[in-house]
């Protein structure tokens, strides 16, 4: 293997570029491909279990649910807006809530299509809600090859606020592994 490969600057990895590279350097000390390869997860999420809305408890736990969006609305309060989607499975109804990016999200949500949602639940005014859930169509979920135990990488508030989520870090890891596999072809 080319020993210089792992010394390649992180900005040259697909999905990074100069701006993300600066953030990764400042926030996580990731300067090279090797630094990224040595970024180990803090913990893992068990994505093997699905819950029904009726099984939820007031624990603020991370859960995964299959259901459909039956209604989408934008709610204005003072000078803030939020997007709320009514989400149902065969056992009940809950709300999915977004405080940011609602225009883009609203344009991409589809009614009456099965989704897999994942996130922390809240109990408010007699209803469960999930703010900013990770979600994808059930069809795409079934086609994907993601592991059942998903890694949760270290992060900072600045990284999160700049859109470098755990999913982005996971994708960068996948891109790095794809580059490594090219070396062995």
What pLDDT sits at residue 185? 78
What pLDDT sits at residue 3? 66
Q: Which fold, 48-143? A: OB fold (Dihydrolipoamide Acetyltransferase, E2P) (2.40.50)
What pLDDT sits at residue 178? 92
What DSSP letter does each residue of 63-129 carry, written as one string?
EEEEEEEEEEEEEEETTEEEEEEEEEETTEEEEEEESS-HHHHHHH--TT-EEEEEEE-EEETTEEE
- pTM for this one? 0.70
pLDDT tens digits for the chain (185 residues)? Answer: 566 999 999 999 999 999 999 999 999 999 999 999 999 999 988 888 899 999 999 888 889 999 999 999 998 888 888 999 999 999 999 999 998 877 888 888 999 999 999 999 999 889 999 999 989 999 988 887 666 788 999 999 999 888 888 889 989 999 999 999 888 87
Q: Are 27 and 35 in contact, with CB atoms under 8 Å apart? A: no
């Amino acid at each position: 293997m080319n020993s210089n490969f792992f010394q390649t600057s992180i900005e040259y990895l697909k999905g990074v570029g100069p701006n993300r590279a600066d953030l990764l350097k400042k926030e996580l000390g990731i300067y090279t491909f090797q630094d990224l390869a040595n970024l180990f997860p803090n913990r893992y999420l068990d994505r093997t279990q699905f819950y029904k809305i009726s099984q939820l408890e007031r624990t603020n736990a991370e859960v995964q649910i299959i259901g459909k969006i039956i209604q989408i609305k934008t709610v204005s309060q003072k000078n803030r807006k939020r997007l709320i989607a009514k989400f149902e499975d065969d056992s009940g109804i809950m709300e999915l809530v977004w405080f940011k990016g609602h225009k883009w999200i609203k344009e991409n949500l589809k009614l009456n299509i099965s989704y897999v949602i994942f996130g922390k639940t809240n109990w408010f005014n007699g209803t469960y809600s999930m703010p900013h859930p990770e979600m994808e169509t059930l069809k795409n979920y079934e086609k994907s090859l993601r592991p059942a135990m998903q890694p949760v990488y270290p992060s900072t508030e600045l990284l999160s606020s700049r859109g470098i989520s755990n999913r982005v870090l996971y994708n960068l890891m996948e891109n790095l592994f794809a580059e490594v596999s090219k070396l062995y072809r």
